[in-house]
Amino acid sequence: MPTRPYLKFDQIGKSFSRGAASTEVLRDINLTIDEGQYVSIIGHSGCGKSTLLNIVAGLTPVTTGAVLLEDKEVNSPGPERAVVFQNHSLLPWLTVYENVSLAVNKVFSGTKSRSERHDWIMHNLQLVHMVHAKDKRPAEISGGMKQRVGIARALAMEPKILLLDEPFGALDALTRAHLQDSVMDIHMKLGNTMIMITHDVDEAVLLSDRVVMMTNGPAATIGDVLEVNLPRPRRRLELVNNRIYADARAAVLEFLYARHKAPSIAA
């Protein structure tokens, strides 16, 4: 008997209407994701990547089809699907600790004691190496540290799926690399399912088990799915001359810049 998919995109279509005009953003999106997989979604601007992520998050309703998580339809936000945005979205008047505690208290106020919630907050801050800054406010920490807190807040909800919407896009190259390494370590420790939107080919190949490549919009769909057969843990310096890494990177580049050029380039 075949096992059921953990997460399934079943004939997803999405259109947005304004007055009498309608724009089809996504068409016939079909994909299954196994529990514990790290999946990146990549494509040119306007291909509906963030729309697709928002559908999984329950923030945007589908027009056709359905998203199924463990055979249950996703049609509203829920703590089992936590989102980390490019903008960290921390509340500036609260400390690092208090920002994470908001999520913990919301999800676990009825199941964990005050002491247990405190320990859980500290555990998740430790995962992202931010215990030392627990009493600082967002204005007192760097952009990379803010994003670490955003990740801790999302993980503290114990989500079944962690959704990452270009989480490193606003960071400088060195901070970005450090945070990518941290996310890989967290994924190795927790074995949770992660879906990440990115424009960065190297990032997608380095972090992912599978890279989902989107065709150009409007009416974008999945053009190809690449399996990244690199063992974990992955060390970026060791991959510089790795043939599997190089071939995977070349396959994504070929899809994006030869088979499906950005609309402005193709014009």
Query: For 219, what's the count of Cα atoms within 13 Å in the CB-facing half-sphere?
Result: 1
The whole-number pLDDT of residue 10 equals: 96
The whole-number pLDDT of residue 160 equals: 94
SS3 for 188?
Answer: helix
Q: When comparing pLDDT for 168 and 246, which is higher?
A: 246
The whole-number pLDDT of residue 18 equals: 85
% of the chain at pLDDT higher than 90? 80
261 pLDDT tier (thresholds 50, 70, 90): low
How many CB atoms within 10 Å of residue 206? 22
Compute the average pLDDT of residues 34-59: 94
267 pLDDT tier (thresholds 50, 70, 90): very low
The whole-number pLDDT of residue 266 equals: 45
Helix (H) or strand (E) holding 41: strand 38-42
Please tell me the pTM assigned to this model.
Answer: 0.92
pLDDT averaged over the chain?
91
* Cα 139 → chain centroid: 25
Q: When comparing pLDDT for 52 and 2, which is higher?
A: 52
The whole-number pLDDT of residue 264 equals: 58
- 1-80+161-262 CATH choice from 3.40.50.2300, 1.10.10.10, 3.90.380.10, 3.40.50.300: 3.40.50.300
184-198 residue pLDDT tens? 999 999 999 999 999
Compute the distance between CA of residue 49 and CA of residue 43 in angstroms, rounded to an integer: 7
- Report how far apart the first and last C-alpha atoms of the chain are (Å, whole number): 49
87-117 residue pLDDT tens? 768 999 999 999 999 999 999 998 999 999 9
204 has pLDDT over 60: yes
207-250 residue pLDDT tens? 999 999 999 988 999 999 999 999 999 998 889 899 999 999 99
Compute the average pLDDT of residues 139-153: 93
2 pLDDT tier (thresholds 50, 70, 90): low
The whole-number pLDDT of residue 86 equals: 80
Domain chopping of the chain, boundaries: 1-80+161-262, 91-158
- Minimum mean pLDDT among 35-39, 88-92, 110-114, 200-204: which range? 88-92
Compute the average pLDDT of residues 54-75: 95
Specify burial of residue 262 (Cβ count, 10 A radius: 0-12, 13-18, 19+). middle
Compute the average pLDDT of residues 141-168: 93
